[in-house]
Amino acid sequence: MAGSKYQIKMLGNNKSFDSCNEDHILNCMAKGGVSLAPNGCHGGGCGVCKIKILDGEIETLSMSKKYITEDEKESGFVLACRAIPKSDVEFEFIGKPQCKRVEEKKKYGFV
């Protein structure tokens, strides 16, 4: 339902935050003050925000098979910047900076 607020929990550090107006999990993390949110492309193109959905429903936008294979998708892996919560969600953070672009952003102080 549009405008519904769901509780999103990140396993491993007991962080939780609310969903935010049909926005993807990565933006909701930032708006919820969760500092572990990685700063990547926010468009599905770098893979730094890889998570595994442990519980709950999400809608996924298109994701690069370079970062999420079909097998991974079947197992619940998604990119947080391409995953919109549709219920309360629990997930585990998997990703890490792994592309030159992110390293370049860090080098020049944008991350």
Interface with ligand FES (CB under 6 A): 26, 40-42, 44-49, 79, 81
Residues 6 or more apart from 60 whose CB is under 8 A from it?
Answer: 73, 78, 82, 83, 84
> Hey, what are 27's tokens?
């933006």
Return the number of the residue (56 or 97) whose C-beta is nearest ligand FES: 97
Return the number of the residue (44 or 85) whose C-beta is nearest ligand FES: 44
DSSP secondary structure string for all residues of 65-80: TTTS-HHHHHTTEEEG
Closest separation in Å from C-beta 86 to ligand FES: 19
Closest separation in Å from C-beta 1 to ligand FES: 25
